[in-house]
Chains A and B, each alone.
Chain A
């Protein structure tokens, strides 16, 4: 990389690309257009790889997938107007799931702002509530500073998306307003932004005391564990204290599923033991989790006997849903490490409360209420989606990264995959963005080319963003996509079956329109179709052997299969519906 010296003359577009290089950016996901054109010229001379997407939404989700898999901020670049509006969904998604991404949008020239110019829109106004921060740059000389600030804000504290809006005149070399003298900002001056990372020692001691006294403790681990790179610290805490761990949808992989203390996923489609352990706990240790409605069910009935220790780097999460007994603002990793020390000190002098009955109870629930489904092998038996997920899991190379869209396939993947390592699960939790899987998997594969990346997708989701497989073929990004094709918007269908008296309104999609195999082939991928359980294993092995292009498998699965267990929306977590023999519409 050319290191420009301070004071060197350059234009704003060059300064922007140079700033990205200095932030360590290795890839930009983007699509050019009129207003951002001048910034695309210096990309030709930059070592940064640019991946040309087919729709700006794809660029945003790729940047998210990259960030999920690597922990480094993802970068997307799009033009003004529709380019910017198309990336609003990924911004909102990254905001909900605290994903560090930096999005550069082109803007019409400064003098044209506010005139309803061609491809003008108020990017800052539109994205204000779906970004951690956004900024319109008005002078070329501000570009290096604003880019430094954008990466600082995106990656520190509670991570999130930052948008930088760049008017064309300050990057266009033909415009004198684009000239600047290069400088490299060495520090950021943000008087209103100073995240607290160290927990208060008094609160940490108080937390240790509650832990030592508790007879039915549960660690409620959320996505913040992964953001804080705290998986090892979490394991140390769980093992030292002998406390079981539930991992939320955003925290799958933060604690190994094979660990004896792992209870798996809680929430609306969590397993019985994870849900019920939280309900009966006398202490919940919430680490980087936010008491989301999909986890708590009816809040007033959630974990009624539990005291709460809540650790989060975002003070606004403490007390937002449930008032903690011990609130700790801080970075999860740093706080957990302190907590491990505090518990060790305390337990050197005080005996831990007896938890043998609780541990036995958890084992009994696990034994009594495993996840279940039945794959029939006779004539006329349909292929079960859960069987496909398990086959994908059992045949996946170690360290495989799984991406999912939103719906039934996402829940089956989260339930049935065995996550052993952090950063192997990429999904849209908070916003629930259908179409997330394909572009997010591409971004993850770009960030981790050494890993196998499977997108497990639904047929509804796939149709929203499938065109990015053209990007993947063109850029030789060999992701693999498993479509659990049940010919329906399956989760909506499930709700209509259970709660709307089987009145199916606008959820049928058809199993063979489009023809997914032909579509995949048209996009330069290997296309496979699987219709019976016997074909599942061989098809997956064939897909795993392809490494020079993307692969798509169209699994024709049972339309009527539903996700269980289920806690119906707005009901208490005491009322877990275990299967079709139980609950409303259970037939």
Chain B
């Protein structure tokens, strides 16, 4: 399967909701009711504690996506929905992964962790647990490279995303 976000079948919805009990159930229930699959989902309060942002990666063609966003927007607790095209968004995801690292291969694993700017957060006799943050495609690459060594456990958070900032044609202006 192609990495999510690079395929035309995947879309990122950034949904601003009221931070109230049951709102996530309303959102996820709507996806289930209309027959859409959620690929990944991340939710946390924003800087304003009255609101949360749900970042949803959906697995759909473009036409029904319009329908699902319109249906989502009908939920009373949904305040704003932005569809983020991967090329116009900054995306990050975190991964925790436990890798087989016996004495013979441990050096190579640590080297690759360094190349990917990961951090070793736990060490066992013949295993390492690594945390890695970055664009989802980078996490995919790391996962592929680690697979030959043996992955004992892996958990990704699902991505969060914000729109890329508009760049002024004149470049950044100096203050004053």
With A129-B33, A192-B78 known as contacts, the answer to whether A315 contacts B73 (CB < 8 A) is yes
Are the C-beta atoms of A192 and B76 separated by less than 8 Å? yes
A128 in contact (CB, < 8 A): yes
> Inside 8 A of A24's CB, which chain B residues have their CB?
none
List B residues at the A interface (Cβ < 8 Å): 17-18, 21-22, 25-26, 29-30, 33, 66-67, 70-71, 73-80
Give 30 A-B contacts (CB < 8 Å), ordered by A residue. Answer: A124-B22, A125-B25, A128-B29, A129-B29, A129-B30, A129-B33, A132-B74, A132-B76, A133-B76, A136-B21, A191-B18, A191-B79, A192-B17, A192-B18, A192-B76, A192-B77, A192-B78, A192-B79, A192-B80, A193-B76, A314-B74, A315-B70, A315-B73, A316-B67, A316-B70, A316-B71, A316-B74, A319-B67, A320-B67, A320-B70
- Which residue of chain B has the shortest Cβ distance to A160 in the bound complex? B74
> Inside 8 A of B78's CB, which chain A residues have their CB?
192
A190 in contact (CB, < 8 A): yes
Question: A301 to B90, alpha carbons, bound, how many Å?
Answer: 44
Contacts A125-B25, A136-B22, A315-B70 supplied; 15 other A-B pairs, CB < 8 Å = A129-B30, A129-B33, A133-B76, A192-B17, A192-B75, A192-B77, A192-B80, A315-B73, A316-B67, A316-B70, A316-B71, A319-B66, A319-B67, A320-B67, A320-B70
The residues in A between 280 and 335 inclusive whose CB is less than 8 angstroms from any CB of B are 314-316, 319-320
> Inside 8 A of A315's CB, which chain B residues have their CB?
70, 73
- Which residue of chain B has the shortest Cβ distance to A158 in the bound complex? B74
A153 in contact (CB, < 8 A): yes
- Which residue of chain B has the shortest Cβ distance to A321 in the bound complex? B67
- Which residue of chain A has the shortest Cβ distance to B17 in the bound complex? A192
B53 to chain A, nearest CB (A): 13
> Inside 8 A of B73's CB, which chain A residues have their CB?
315-316
The residues in A between 187 and 216 inclusive whose CB is less than 8 angstroms from any CB of B are 190-193
Are the C-beta atoms of A190 and B76 separated by less than 8 Å? yes
Q: Most B CB atoms within 10 A — which of A132, A190, A191, A319? A: A191
Please provide the 10 A-B residue pairs with the shortest distance between their CB atoms, ordered closest to farther: A316-B70, A192-B79, A133-B76, A193-B76, A192-B78, A191-B79, A129-B33, A316-B71, A315-B70, A192-B77
- Which residue of chain A has the shortest Cβ distance to B51 in the bound complex? A191
B14 to chain A, nearest CB (A): 14
B76 to chain A, nearest CB (A): 5
Question: A169 to B118, alpha carbons, bound, how many Å?
Answer: 52
B37 to chain A, nearest CB (A): 17
The interface size bin for chain A is 10 to 19
- 0/1 string, A154-196, CB within 8 A of B gives 1: 0000000000000000000000000000000000001111000
> Inside 8 A of B74's CB, which chain A residues have their CB?
132, 314, 316
> Inside 8 A of A136's CB, which chain B residues have their CB?
21-22
- Which residue of chain B has the shortest Cβ distance to A162 in the bound complex? B76
Question: A128 to B73, alpha carbons, bound, how many Å?
Answer: 15
A322 to chain B, nearest CB (A): 12
Question: A388 to B53, alpha carbons, bound, how many Å?
Answer: 59
> Inside 8 A of A193's CB, which chain B residues have their CB?
76
Interchain CB contact (< 8 A) of A128 among B25, B67, B70: B25
> Inside 8 A of A314's CB, which chain B residues have their CB?
74
Are the C-beta atoms of B76 and A153 separated by less than 8 Å? yes
Question: A129 to B70, alpha carbons, bound, how many Å?
Answer: 15
- 0/1 string, A131-164, CB within 8 A of B gives 1: 0110010000000000000000100000000000
> Inside 8 A of A320's CB, which chain B residues have their CB?
67, 70
A320 to chain B, nearest CB (A): 6
B61 to chain A, nearest CB (A): 14
Question: A133 to B76, alpha carbons, bound, how many Å?
Answer: 7
Question: A192 to B74, alpha carbons, bound, how many Å?
Answer: 8
> Inside 8 A of A128's CB, which chain B residues have their CB?
25-26, 29
Question: A125 to B22, alpha carbons, bound, how many Å?
Answer: 9
A230 to chain B, nearest CB (A): 21
B52 to chain A, nearest CB (A): 12
B25 to chain A, nearest CB (A): 7
Question: A36 to B17, alpha carbons, bound, how many Å?
Answer: 31
> Inside 8 A of A190's CB, which chain B residues have their CB?
76
Question: A133 to B18, alpha carbons, bound, how many Å?
Answer: 14
> Inside 8 A of B33's CB, which chain A residues have their CB?
129
- Which residue of chain A has the shortest Cβ distance to B23 in the bound complex? A192
- Which residue of chain B has the shortest Cβ distance to A314 in the bound complex? B74
> Inside 8 A of B79's CB, which chain A residues have their CB?
191-192
> Inside 8 A of A192's CB, which chain B residues have their CB?
17-18, 75-80
- 0/1 string, A27-67, CB within 8 A of B gives 1: 00000000000000000000000000000000000000000
- Which residue of chain A has the shortest Cβ distance to B26 in the bound complex? A128
> Inside 8 A of B80's CB, which chain A residues have their CB?
192
Question: A109 to B14, alpha carbons, bound, how many Å?
Answer: 36
> Inside 8 A of A133's CB, which chain B residues have their CB?
76
Question: A124 to B77, alpha carbons, bound, how many Å?
Answer: 14
Question: A319 to B21, alpha carbons, bound, how many Å?
Answer: 32
Question: A153 to B73, alpha carbons, bound, how many Å?
Answer: 14
Q: Most A CB atoms within 10 A — which of B17, B77, B78? A: B77
- Which residue of chain A has the shortest Cβ distance to B69 in the bound complex? A316
A100 to chain B, nearest CB (A): 15
Question: A463 to B71, alpha carbons, bound, how many Å?
Answer: 36
Question: A320 to B71, alpha carbons, bound, how many Å?
Answer: 10
Q: Most B CB atoms within 10 A — which of A125, A128, A153? A: A128
Question: A543 to B22, alpha carbons, bound, how many Å?
Answer: 51
> Inside 8 A of A129's CB, which chain B residues have their CB?
29-30, 33
B172 to chain A, nearest CB (A): 33
- 0/1 string, A100-134, CB within 8 A of B gives 1: 00000000000000000000000011001100110
A142 to chain B, nearest CB (A): 12
Question: A132 to B70, alpha carbons, bound, how many Å?
Answer: 14
Question: A136 to B23, alpha carbons, bound, how many Å?
Answer: 12
- 0/1 string, A458-477, CB within 8 A of B gives 1: 00000000000000000000
